[in-house]
Each structure stands twice: as structure tokens, then as C-alpha cells.
Amino acid sequence: LIRRHPHVFGNSDARDSGAVLRQWESIKRAEKAGKPGRNAGDAGGHYLDDLPLALPALMRAQKAQSKVARVNFDWTEVRDVIAKVEEEIQELKQAIESWHRHPADPRCAGSASHVEDEAGDLLFAVVNLARKCKLDAESALQGATDKFVARFNRLEDELQSRGKKVGEVDLAELDAIWDQIKKTPNAEVSELDVGR
């Protein structure tokens, strides 16, 4: 306990929270270096060797980004991360356009695997943006998914009040109802004034 928390027990020269985190990472690397089959960082292995493979993808991405940020491998400003997200969007668009021109050619730069790589890069950049804004990407996506489900449920309720079902309505009508639901998040479905 004392070895792992020198900042608490007085054996540390760490002057701020960043220094405490760097010291903590160094202590963990040193401990792991002594265990068979576990190498990390300056013990001859790699800094991210101990990143758990079993974590969900969003959590693993955010943990990797947080770890490397502790050793100064990080964007300086949020706007830099936003620029990276925009760059990744452009790369994904280019890959999709190329794939649509040559869908059956696996050698094409726009193959399905290339599109998947670019989609992954975009997701990774968005997770990094969430991290840089001090948000948890997993929680943010869970909240967005919950909001989507609630809105879609309201859309179904509105269709049912009109005697219709999802799958029997064209996209234009669905979009009109959806847009109204987004504008009136707390309104009851019956209060919506859409295409009646």
C-alpha cells in the first residue's frame, strides 16, 4: 500500500495530479515487469501491453487514449481533435465512394475492409474527442441510444394513433414525425401536429 501510494505516505516529490499519475504508471510498470509473461513500458515491453483485450471497444479505445495522454501523447486543444474527426470523416467518405465505384474488386482501395478500417478510425477519433472533453464515450453513446429508442417509441405511438404501423409508411412521413419529436422532446405524442 505504501509503495503504491507514495504521494499519500510522504515518499513522493510529485507536485500535481499529473505527476502523481505518471508516478503511479511508473510504479505499475515496475511491478508488472517483475511478473512472468508481463512486460510493459521501459521494462522491455510496450506501454500498452497491459491494455485488456476483453474490454468493450469504446472503453478499450478510451483507456488506451487516456494512458498515452499521461505520457504526453495527446492533442493540445479540443479543436485539434475536432479537426482529426473531420479528417477521418473525409477519409471514410473517400473510401465509401471508391468502394461504390468498384464493389467487387478486393484489391481496390475502397474495399469493404478499407471502409471498415476508416470507420474504425473515425470511431476512435470520436472516442478521443469525448475523452478530451472529459466525457465517458460509453456513457455518451448509451445516452444517445436511449434517446433514439425513446424517440422511435414515440414515433411508433404516433403512427399507431393514425392507424398505421412502422414499415407501412414512407420515409417522408417518418422524417416529418421524427423531426417534430426532436423539436418537442417532452411533448406527449398526441400533442404533435404532424401531417394530420
Q: Which tens digits make up the pLDDT trace of 101-130?
A: 877 776 666 688 889 999 999 999 999 999
Q: How far is it, in rounded angstroms, from Cα 139 to Cα 162?
A: 35
Q: Inform me whether the pLDDT recorded for 27 exceeds 50.
A: yes
Residue type at 23 in one-letter notation:
Q
Please state the rounded mean pLDDT for residues 16-37: 68
Please state the rounded mean pLDDT for residues 168-179: 97
| Cα radius of gyration (the chain) | 24
DSSP 170: -
